[in-house]
Structure 1
Amino acid sequence: MRKIIVLFFLVMFVIGTDTFLISPLIPTLQSMFSIPTEKAGWMIGAYTLGSAVFALIAGPLSDGWDRKKVLLSGLTCFAISTCLCGFAVDFWTMCLFRFLAGVSAAFTAPQVWAAIPTLFPPAKISKVLGVAYAGLAVSQALGVPIGSLLAVGNWSLPFWSIGIFSLILVVAAYFVVPSMKPHQQQGAKMSMFTRYVPLLTSGKARGTFLAYFCVHLGSSAAFAFLGKWMTDRFDLSIKEVGYVIIFLGLGNLIGSLCSPYIIKALNQFQTMAAGMLIVIAAYLVLPHVSSVYIVKGVYFFIFAILGILFPLMVGLLNSLNPTIRGTISSLATSTMNAATTLGAWMAGMLYVVFNGYTAVGIFTGICLACSLFVFIASGVLSTAAAKSEPKNEPAA
């Protein structure tokens, strides 16, 4: 079982690395492909658009298939399409290959989240989910910066490296992951739409997903043009931007590791409210900071808090309906990537129209404020807290 845990960690690591790999490369690719700033965000958006659209299809469909076969197929296509990004000759071919990589990721990542409750006993599910999520956090701490450093020699190297490593993971998954055929009653007889009905008809579920969309919309907009802003404001190279992003990833990793302890010390409502308000204030202040060292510190702080909040949000989503967690995971992936697509586009427009990062910071603050309001209004925080209290008492 340890081999499976490590494999799932690495799968989420490569997907997380690939998602935002282009962010520090935007200045280089923008110059090489001769594209304006407002269009550059689509090299990120193409990936997330493909993932957002096809995750809605991939999740419910794969509930009726062998998850191992879906995982192997998705990861193989992900490896090939990511390698092809390194051969892009212009803006449009890059967007095409990024779109295909996003589609492949849509069939891969949800299988990890859905496979964990199938392969592991209830007592270990939360721990394994935490390890898989840590793969995403580590991808920001190490994956994206390593990609930035590789790009110093050749901008294609990060894509080729991720693609080759993903192919190695395909081989490992073939031997390590057992077959996960669907139960007879969960087969393909149930339509795709039917699987979404419990979520679409629940006001609490709609509110929770809307709040989840808003938080990713704001945070993705801020992150998408971080490399561009750092280059314009502080004249940093790709290598130096990579070092800055290390601080973001480390903060996110530390926050995710501390998340269960923070939530236990406070409660879900207090953790969400305090964390969101602090991050909003930080994003409003960040564009006016004049020292790159202070920027590193502020972003470390921001991502440490987001590292605490995102596992809490995932837990709130999973609590909506435990019987359709696979569909919830797919819808969450789609929601996140749809928000990332729109956020990257909005960031590019705001950056150009208002000539800088200040408008992006304000936009992010507004999105996070809306997210907090909807989380509270939906009632999911109070309900989840009420459910968790009785469960904790017998274990004490």
Structure 2
Amino acid sequence: MSDNGMKPMLILLAIVAFFIGMDSLVVSPLIPDIAKATAVPMERGGWLITSYALFYGLTAPFFGPISDKFGRKQMIVTGMIIFSIGTFCTGLSQDFNTILGFRALTGLSGAMVMPSIFALIGDKVPYNMRGTAMGMIMGAMVGSTVLGVPIGAFLTSVGNWQWTFYGIGVLAMLVAFIIMGVLPKTPPTNEIPVSAPVAMVSGIKTAFTNTSVFFALLSTFLWTVSLQGIFSYIGVYYKENFDFSVEKIGMVIFLAGAGSIIGNVIGGKLADQIGKKAVVSIATIIAAIGVVSFTLLTEHVIFAMIVHVLWSTSIGFGQSSLTALISELSPKVRGTVMALNSSAMYMGMMFASAGASWLLVGGQTFLAIGIMCAIASFLVLPIIHFLIIENSIMRKRSY
């Protein structure tokens, strides 16, 4: 595919990633209104995010092999249609358990779409441009969460919480039809003449015959822990130490998210120039130092905010490079690998949140969480250098 043909494809895929990312956290500011409308305690509102993440993580390994067997476009289109329906129906529901079911359905559809997008980039984009491409997609996902929270809050303030889900659902269906007509048909990469469950087992087995894949997934798990351990309690950090209001916390998260977007884009481009492992190495060191420094600055609000933004930028800086590196490890089952990578990400998210909660409940300070995150970040460094071997043949062909 030529550079001219590749750019429209990447823009379209970035738009898809924007919608998937936005839907995952847009529910956050809507929780009080949804809880009131469905007559449930506000504390249960967090389940709306958990159900999305849980079903995304659990089902991603199933859809990866199907993507390898039937093609990326088919999975992306099908996933976006289901995503649209699930999101729209979330707005129609008045029963909390029914809403949870539709949130689970949208998480499942996200698991169909995003690994297929990452695999498609690995299929179509030359190695020396893949970091930039991954940076665009990851930047769109991060940007969607930054914009999704204020967009959801605004729509609720001028209308009601259902408007948010109606809007995302209708626009997502429009995007699905655009993909159907514009995105070129993608042939299967691993034609296994068996049923989907057997294909899943076979594909995962094939992926793990490459030991680099296992350590790559471990790197993604650790990288997510290094981010989510603190991020999951970032609101509590600012409230307890600086008595920030919800609006102030939202503004800080917005600035940090903007830094992460910039980090993803710059890190992706730099990875194509100096190498993906080099960029991830730089990012791990900065992220580890940054997260510990952040947890120590409990009496210096300006410095804490500056370090928070720099730390978030470093996370984005390494994320696109790590994703691009993983996408090349086992090309024949790339969809499977990227699906497992998504699962590793969400498992890391759950582990980090649980670990941080356990530390705080046990009377530990935020410094303990920062140390946990820093250790996770530093562990990525030896893994990518000594335990992950890049596919040198495909790398040479891509130039």
Relative to the length of structure 2, the TM-score reads 0.81
Contact 2:291 2:373 in 1 (8 A): no
Of residues 217-226 and 284-293 in structure 1, the stretch that sits farther from structure 2 once superposed is 284-293
Q: In the TM superposition, what are the counterparts of 1:262-273 in structure 2 within 5 Å?
A: 262-263=270-271, 271-273=279-281
Of residues 164-173 and 187-196 in structure 1, the stretch that sits farther from structure 2 once superposed is 187-196
Task: Label 1:233 to 1:378 Cα distance change in 2 as closer, same or farther (>3 A).
Answer: closer
1:213 aligns with 2:218: no
Query: Which whole-Å CA distance do the structure 2 matches of 1:350 and 1:33 have between them?
Result: 28
Task: Label 1:260 to 1:81 Cα distance change in 2 as closer, same or farther (>3 A).
Answer: closer
Deviations 1:329-356 (A, max 9, x none): 11111111222234344445555x2579
Structure 1: tracts of 5 or more residues without a match: none
Task: Label 1:333 to 1:274 Cα distance change in 2 as closer, same or farther (>3 A).
Answer: same
Contact 1:75 1:166 in 2 (8 A): yes
- The letter of the residue matching 1:336 is M
Alpha-carbon distance, 1:242 to partner: 3.3
Q: In the TM superposition, what are the counterparts of 1:343-382 in structure 2 within 5 Å?
A: 343-348=352-357, 350=359, 353-354=361-362, 358-359=365-366, 362-363=368-369, 365-373=371-379, 375-377=381-383, 379-380=385-386
Q: In percent, how many aligned pairs have the same letter?
A: 25
Q: CA RMSD in A?
A: 3.6
Contact 1:148 1:242 in 2 (8 A): no
Query: Which whole-Å CA distance do the structure 2 matches of 1:168 and 1:53 have between them?
Result: 27
Alpha-carbon distance, 1:12 to partner: 0.5
Query: Which whole-Å CA distance do the structure 2 matches of 1:320 and 1:334 have between them?
Result: 17
The number of aligned residues is 386
Q: SS state of the match for residue 320, structure 1?
A: coil
2:184 aligned to 178, 197, 215, which one? 178
Task: Label 1:119 to 1:206 Cα distance change in 2 as closer, same or farther (>3 A).
Answer: closer
Q: SS state of the match for residue 328, structure 1?
A: helix
Deviations 1:207-243 (A, max 9, x none): 2211211221342243233345545655555544432
Task: Label 1:29 to 1:177 Cα distance change in 2 as closer, same or farther (>3 A).
Answer: same
Contact 2:135 2:267 in 1 (8 A): no
Number of the residue aligned with 2:346: 337
1:158 aligns with 2:164: yes
- The letter of the residue matching 1:197 is K
1:128 aligns with 2:133: yes
2:253 aligned to 245, 251, 259, which one? 245
Alpha-carbon distance, 1:56 to partner: 0.5
Number of the residue aligned with 2:83: 78
Q: In the TM superposition, what are the counterparts of 1:59-74 in structure 2 within 5 Å?
A: 59-74=64-79
Q: SS state of the match for residue 69, structure 2?
A: coil
Number of the residue aligned with 2:41: 34
Query: Which whole-Å CA distance do the structure 1 matches of 2:120 and 2:277 have between them?
Result: 29
Number of the residue aligned with 1:110: 115
Number of the residue aligned with 1:46: 51
Contact 2:213 2:388 in 1 (8 A): no
Task: Label 1:58 to 1:186 Cα distance change in 2 as closer, same or farther (>3 A).
Answer: same
- The letter of the residue matching 1:178 is P
Alpha-carbon distance, 1:251 to partner: 0.4
- The letter of the residue matching 1:34 is P
Alpha-carbon distance, 1:122 to partner: 6.4
Contact 2:131 2:324 in 1 (8 A): no
Q: SS state of the match for residue 186, structure 1?
A: coil
Query: Which whole-Å CA distance do the structure 1 matches of 2:386 and 2:263 have between them?
Result: 22
- The letter of the residue matching 1:162 is I
Query: Which whole-Å CA distance do the structure 2 matches of 1:108 and 1:264 have between them?
Result: 25
Number of the residue aligned with 1:296: 305
Structure 2: tracts of 5 or more residues without a match: none
Q: SS state of the match for residue 329, structure 2?
A: coil
Contact 1:65 1:181 in 2 (8 A): yes
Relative to the length of structure 1, the TM-score reads 0.81
Deviations 1:95-127 (A, max 9, x none): 332211111111111222223344556675554
Alpha-carbon distance, 1:47 to partner: 0.9
Number of the residue aligned with 2:104: 99
1:147 aligned to 143, 152, 155, which one? 152
Deviations 1:23-77 (A, max 9, x none): 45567667874244xx654332211110111110011012222433322221111
